[in-house]
Amino acid sequence: MGQREYTRSQRIASQLREELSELIRIELKDSRLSWVTVDEVEVSRDLQVAKVYVSSLKEEQLEESLKALKAAAPFLRHELGKRLHVRVVPELRFYRDTAIEHGLKITQLLRQIKNDADES
């Protein structure tokens, strides 16, 4: 049963990512959300909570975008209930996606190590 639950939460996470991306782009008329991208969604095993990781091309606007998404969460959850075939739509929690920043830092450190090795 554990594998089935995990697969189900992955499937729901994928559906949530797709639907949320569309809802944010089309349904929400908030200028703070014009450059927001839903990068990843993680759904808890009990399907009660969805962590939604977002990024923005306008990094300086991301905190305001997160506030707008948190305010719109009840609306988004309601709309997801209409679109998804699940008994309960998970609670939506929005977070800043730091994976890209983390990757850039690692790349920068690797370049620095390579340059230091070349100079030796």
CATH at residue 53:
3.30.300.20
- Cβ neighbours around 43 below 10 Å, total: 22
| CB contact at 8 A, 87 and 80 | no
Q: What's the structural domain count of the chain?
A: 1
pLDDT band at 2 (very low <50, low <70, confident <90, very high): low
pLDDT at site 4: 60
| CB contact at 8 A, 96 and 66 | yes
pLDDT band at 32 (very low <50, low <70, confident <90, very high): confident
pTM of the predicted model as reported, rounded to 2 decimal places: 0.79
**DSSP, res 47:** S
pLDDT at site 41: 96
Range of the domain at 77: 2-119
